[in-house]
Amino acid sequence: MTNEKEIDFGGFQANGFAMLFLNLLLTAGGIGLCFTPVFWLGIILIVLTFFLWGGFIMLEPNEAMVMLFFGKYRGTFRKTGYFWVNPFLSCKKLSMRARNLNADPIKVNDKVGNPVLIGLVLVWKLKDAYKAMFEIDSQTMAANATGTSIGNSVASRMNAFENFVKVQSDAALRQVAGLYAYDDTDSRDHELTLRSGGDEINEQLVQKLNERLAMAGMEVVEARINYLAYAPEIAAVMLRRQQATAIISAREKIVEGAVSMVKMALDKLSAEEVCELDEEKKAAMVSNLLVVLCADEAAQPVVNTGTLNH
């Protein structure tokens, strides 16, 4: 029967220090008996001590050990400290601590098809030791990475998990980036974008990553985009587009303010009866004021020595 979920190890376990003291006594006793007529009993005791030495295990906080008995899963050992278990058990240690992954930027196409470079940094950790060990081929991946058999090498095994997370993070990042445009294509459009999405984009990234990594017993604690730029082949063109958009937006504000100021000037002249202006004079005054207010350079004053009726 195949186990489908992680269980706690329920086999025999003893205090490691007590077993260590017992094993030392047996070793000393076996050596002493070797010089007596019952030397064969001493040899048996010494052989027994070699057997007992193989059952000692030690775990630090946030570490776990997957216990196998001749290939059969017997549970996950999570107690911190020094213990003795059945020496015939195969123990595979895993780190349950949080780890960082700073993925290199990759080139993807955004929602409108523009190529962009996007990178992410994430914090992940193992959540289910059974799935991590037996739902993905972590041991083969680690052996291929090192070129040797990994045995109980925790570092090689965790590096294999990290490679798995890296591949899945690339896939999730491509999926999320393809749902949004890099930036607003229309200054009046308030659609969510990669550049302005912030926490909402990061939350979707965490969700997609957890969906992909759940099968491997891994959990993403936090993920966020840490690099975002247009691809080099379109970066210059998109920069000019952004500059043009900014200039147009600024011009709109300038014109809006200028029209408001012209209207205020005409209303104040009329209300305080400073002078009487016909429609032609009003049009000339509006034109001159708009030129002065909207021009990039300072206006050159012209002194009118005539009269309004001239």
Please state the rounded mean pLDDT for residues 42-56.
Answer: 89
Please state the rounded mean pLDDT for residues 114-122.
Answer: 89
Q: How far is 131 from 263, CA to CA, in rounded Å?
A: 73
Task: Give the pLDDT score at 1.
Answer: 40
Which has the minimum average pLDDT: 33-42, 114-123, 249-258?
249-258
Q: Distances from the Cα of 288 to the Cαs of 227, 275, 282, 299, 305, in angstroms?
A: 48, 17, 10, 10, 17
CB 121 within 8 A of CB 100: yes
| Closest C-alpha among 119, 133, 118, 196 to residue 164 | 133
Q: How far is 279 from 285, CA to CA, in rounded Å?
A: 10
Q: How far is 293 from 259, CA to CA, in rounded Å?
A: 9
- 148 has pLDDT over 50: no
Q: How far is 202 from 55, CA to CA, in rounded Å?
A: 46
Which has the minimum average pLDDT: 58-62, 217-221, 241-245?
241-245
Task: Give the pLDDT score at 299.
Answer: 57
Task: Give the pLDDT score at 258.
Answer: 72
Angle between helices 199-213 and 154-177 (to 10 degrees): 130
Task: Give the pLDDT score at 252.
Answer: 75
SS3 294: helix
Which has the minimum average pLDDT: 73-77, 182-186, 224-228?
182-186
- 286 has pLDDT over 60: yes
Tokens at 85, concatenated: 């278990």
Which has the minimum average pLDDT: 30-44, 225-239, 290-304?
290-304
Task: Give the pLDDT score at 287.
Answer: 72
Q: Where in the chain is the domain with CATH 3.30.479.30?
A: 99-230
- Check residues 129 and 282 and name the one with the higher pLDDT: 129
User: Which residue is it, tokens 């308030």?
Assistant: 190
- 256 has pLDDT over 80: no
Q: Which residues of 175-199 are buried (b: 16+ CB within 10 A; e: fewer)?
A: bbbeebbbbeeeeeeeeebbbebee
- 150 has pLDDT over 50: no
The CATH code belonging to domain 99-230 is 3.30.479.30
- 151 has pLDDT over 60: no
- 123 has pLDDT over 90: yes
Please state the rounded mean pLDDT for residues 5-20.
Answer: 90
- 301 has pLDDT over 90: no
Q: How far is 72 from 63, CA to CA, in rounded Å?
A: 21
Which has the minimum average pLDDT: 22-36, 154-168, 276-290?
276-290
pTM of the model: 0.69
